[in-house]
Amino acid sequence: MAQYRYTPRGVCSKQITFEIEDGKLHNVAFFGGCAGNLKAIGKLLEGADAQQTVDTLIGNTCGPRPTSCADQLCIAIQKALAH
């Protein structure tokens, strides 16, 4: 299982970690940010298809910000899938 670590930009979360195995997400975790919401995202995405997650969540914003923790996760997943 490949493990990834990403430093998001423009959001409260300071780091995102996740694993991808056979195109599926595992152990998605956010450090910093809205703890309850971000823990819920990690639970909801356990075993989810990585590309489908990107297709669903990319471009999601948070308040007046042009991005969100979910959007930053999608950027991280896209980078991971490109390798």
8-59 per-position pLDDT tens digit:
999 999 999 999 999 999 999 999 999 999 999 999 999 999 999 999 999 9
Per-residue model confidence (pLDDT) at position 34: 93
Kindly list the distances between the CA atom of residue 10 and the CA atoms of 22, 25, 32, 56, 63, in Å, as whole numbers in the listed order: 30, 23, 13, 20, 12
- Quick: pLDDT tens for 21-35: 999 999 999 999 999
CB 49 within 8 Å of CB 23? yes
- pLDDT at residue 83, as a whole number: 86
Question: What DSSP string runs through 23-37?
Answer: TEEEEEEEESS-HHH
Question: pLDDT by residue (tens digit) across 58-73?
Answer: 999 999 999 999 999 9
Residue type, 51: Q
